[in-house]
Structure 1
């Protein structure tokens, strides 16, 4: 989600030619305008959501993602971290990448600690 939010700040050479996003990322973007009381920020978030909707066909959360989430959850548990709250949302995004065999581009690589054996993580 952080990559979509900061897309205009990231060098195009640091990104793949084709981008894909999880339905979870789109859900986070859809919640964004409702998470602020500032009208200008709400408008920025709404614009970001609409641009993302026009650009991406989200990867669905399906049975393969659900199974991958189980593996991701277990891997994170070994590190002593809990998959709750915002972290659980991030781990569903990771599970989507695992399920479809794509690298995960992120601005927050620490959010995905413990997943390097099952996921190619690219920090941008």
Structure 2
């Protein structure tokens, strides 16, 4: 059975049902992903979008128990932030992505994403897979 962490981009994809075959058998999300989804509801530009996002958030919360940020994830965050900085990037500008990547690193599982290039600086640390 294969395992992995789902990036927020996978969860908000319009074709999320079509992605099922490309996803791990045992998928998890980071608490950082849940925070991004809640934020997305709050900043929706109109009521229709807000209701759509709220409905999707409810589906995700019913399906997943998010993985928390613990000491192992904190140590992994330091490593991924340092890798981004070494590559010339700004870790603070990508803090949520880095917490999600750190969760995958700490758990020793791949990260499934629609935005593979967002994680290029982390190639030596995590297995980011495009879906």
Matching residue within 118, 121, 124 for 1:117: 124
Structure with higher RCO (Cα < 8 A, 6+ apart):
2
Matching residue within 29, 38, 46 for 2:37: 29
Q: Normalising to structure 1: TM-score of the pair?
A: 0.94
Consecutive unaligned residues in structure 1, runs of 5 or more: none
Structure number with higher strand proportion: 2
- Give the stretch that moved more between structures: 3-12 or 102-111: 3-12
Q: Which aligned pairs between 1:1-124 and structure 2 lie closer than 5 A? A: 1-6=8-13, 8-85=16-93, 87-124=94-131
Q: Normalising to structure 2: TM-score of the pair?
A: 0.89
Write the distance in 1 (CA, Å) between the matches of 2:18 and 2:121. Answer: 25
Write the distance in 1 (CA, Å) between the matches of 2:31 and 2:18. Answer: 22
Q: Deviations over 1:44-69 (max 9, x none)?
A: 10011100100001010111111000
Aligned CA RMSD, in angstroms, stands at: 1.2
> Offset of 1:9 from its aligned partner?
5.0
